[in-house]
Amino acid sequence: ITGLSESKVDEMIEDLLRITGNIQMGIYPHPEEIHVKITVTEKNEKSADKIISKIEKQIKSRLKDYIFGYDNEKFEEVIGRMLRESQKTLAIAESCTGGLLANRITDVPGNSAYFKLGLVTYSNESKNKLLGIPLETIKKYGAVSKEIASLMAKNVRALAKTDYGIGISGIAGPGGATPKKPIGMVYIALADKSKIICKEFRFAGTRNLIKYKSTQSALNMLRTFSAA
């Protein structure tokens, strides 16, 4: 489950969590996602599966699109399956995440079928030379901005000739922050051939945690974007 806090998930399935007897349920928080575990004690495996299936349907009816996967499936595996099934391709331009999103995508076997290009354009010069973003534009809006993240997504998609392009720019800390652009401010943009969407996020935590949360949000944006 992603896009909801632990307390919100608890609120939405509170009555199910209270079920007693041979059924045990628990909520386990992870960075930018929540896991719900269902344990059923039954002598008959088919009976246990039937009970679990019934509870899963109730959870799905309430949480709907906030659910991204089941069992031990990782977010990047879900995205990989979606891209393969839809025969869509992806290119990524990263700044503050330093290639972490591309690393997660390439951890999935068979990713070459849909992942075509990953660039780490950390400096202004690399954004200019590799993505063709004018230095004047970067100076005008700042590297960490909606405008630059959008151009990163648009231009990397055009460069790789893919269906989707993702651009990420932000401040992971511990330095580089300003009063207007604090640590944890991240812009994530997603482009296809007809439109670009860009969202501003404010993440808390260490540098590594902010980077990870950024990749989680990027994956979720792609999931909801491609499903629309």
Domains, the chain: 6-66 (3.30.70), 75-227 (3.90.950.20)
pLDDT of residue 9: 97
The pLDDT mean for the chain works out to 96
Q: What is the pLDDT of residue 200?
A: 98
DSSP3 helix / strand / coil % (the chain, rounded to 5): 45, 20, 30
* Number of Cβ within a 10 Å radius of residue 141: 16
Full-model pTM: 0.90
pLDDT tens-digit series, residues 88-115: 999 999 999 999 999 999 999 999 999 9
Mean local confidence (pLDDT), 165-190: 97
Pairing of strands 196-202, 90-94: unpaired
Considering Cα of 77, then 59, then 23, then 46, what sign does the dihedral take?
Answer: negative
- Give dist(CA 14, CA 199) in Å, integer: 31
pLDDT at position 20 is: 82
Please tell me the predicted confidence (pLDDT) of residue 227.
77
Token pair belonging to 181: 């652009």
Residue 138 has, within 13 A of its CA and on its CB side, a CA count of: 17
Buried residues in 177-186 as b, exposed as e (16+ CB within 10 A): eeeebebbbb
* pLDDT value of residue 144: 98
- Tell me the pairing of strands 33-40 and 90-94: unpaired
Q: Taking 90 as the threshold, does the pLDDT of residue 214 lie above it?
A: yes
